[in-house]
Amino acid sequence: MTQWLKNVARLARKEIASLARDATLMVLIAFAFTFAIYSVAKWIKAEVSNASVAFVDGDRSDLSRQLRAAILPPYFKPPVDVDRRDVDRELDRGRYIFAIEIPPRFEADVLAGRAPAVQVLVDATAMTQAGLGSAYLQQIFMNETLAFLHAREAAAAQLPAEPVVRVLFNPNTESFWFTSTMQIVMNITVLSIILVGAAVIREREHGTIEHLLVMPVRASEIAAAKIAANGAVIFVVSLLSLGAVVEGWLRVPLEGSLALFAFSTALYLFSVTALGMLLATLAPSMPQFGLLAVPTYAVAYLLSGAATPVQSMPAAMQPLVQLLPTTQFVTLTQAVLFRAAGVDVVWPQLAGIAAAGALFLALALTRFRSMLARQG
């Protein structure tokens, strides 16, 4: 066992030196865990932000002007007055996401209790903005109309119950708190697969795998060295990114145990690097490896819960996605970093990741031994 570890350590140093000489991969790693994290967190928003609004005021009353004035940044841009005949053309051109039309005699009808309608046209091709923004506008118009009638307190008193909403873990519902950490998880996944796969295929394409075959090392030592070396690189840069970019640059507060997250990340890296090696043994060249790796990553990302909550997926799909280590790691990351969960809460996820890693490693070693046997 001692000799096995020594051989793995020597081979791992060779792997790290080989990776360090690959300028393209080093630049990719640096970019993925710095500017890529920041750009996704700051420039891709899940909430309504700076939505463009066209405004058609057919009433020109105090109430219509009050409704217009209530549409404020940062959710919406200042409304732009548009002629009613130009609304459809401007929406078709994509200049506005929302077009609001106040009908004539709107204020008079409100005061007379006739319940007039405000028309809100929505460009639903901007899906997130359209869905949330229309709900925001409905709430704004209701509040402003009640305030105009001095009826807000009376209306609240007539309700059978008053909801009191307390937002936990993210009180301002800032999406970048969530997207920055999830982007780290996704970058760990894709780079772990790519680095290990590239290391295996590079040996085969450059002919250096024959050098390994004549050395007194076993297939398990070669495989373990590639997994350990590339996993260690991703482990270090991911933790640095979490501390420097997410906590330092983006100012995202992380509540849970970083030690538990580090242990979980190491376990997850064991799983996905073993998957990367398995895929590399199935592909004879780098282009074919890419064709395997890209859909594997896409499926893992889309079904992980990082983009869409698992609870929103079809009921038949939900038990199946729980088998994926990426789904377990996303659940674990959210629980540990945002809800300060301990081992007593996340041990099922840790067990699931370990089981998947053991399965991938067993399959990868079997395929890797067969590949070396054919190569020899």
Query: What are the boundaries of each domain within the chain?
Result: 2-44+174-375, 53-158
pLDDT averages per 10-residue partition of the chain, 376 residues = 81 85 88 93 84 93 92 92 91 92 91 88 86 90 85 59 82 87 94 89 70 70 87 95 94 92 96 92 86 90 87 89 93 94 94 94 87 67
Closest to 265 (Cα-Cα) out of 199, 196, 336, 322: 336
pLDDT value of residue 219: 76
- Tell me which architecture the domain covering 53-158 has in CATH: 3-Layer(aba) Sandwich (3.40)
What is the edge-to-edge ordering of all strands in the sheet holding 80-81?
A: 80-81, 53-57, 98-102, 119-122
The whole-number pLDDT of residue 163 equals 78
Structure tokens at 147: 């305030």
* pLDDT of the residue at 172: 82
Looking up tokens 């998957």 gives: 275
Per-residue pLDDT, 375: 61
- Give the DSSP per-residue string, 298-329: HHHHHTTTSSS-GGGS-TTTHHHHTTSHHHHH
Q: Rounded to whole angstroms, how far apart are CA atoms 281 and 292?
A: 11
This prediction's pTM: 0.84
pLDDT recorded at residue 65: 92
Distance CA 18, CA 285 (A): 19
Predicted confidence at residue 164, as pLDDT, reads: 84
Which two structure tokens, joined as six digits, stand for 249? Answer: 């640059």
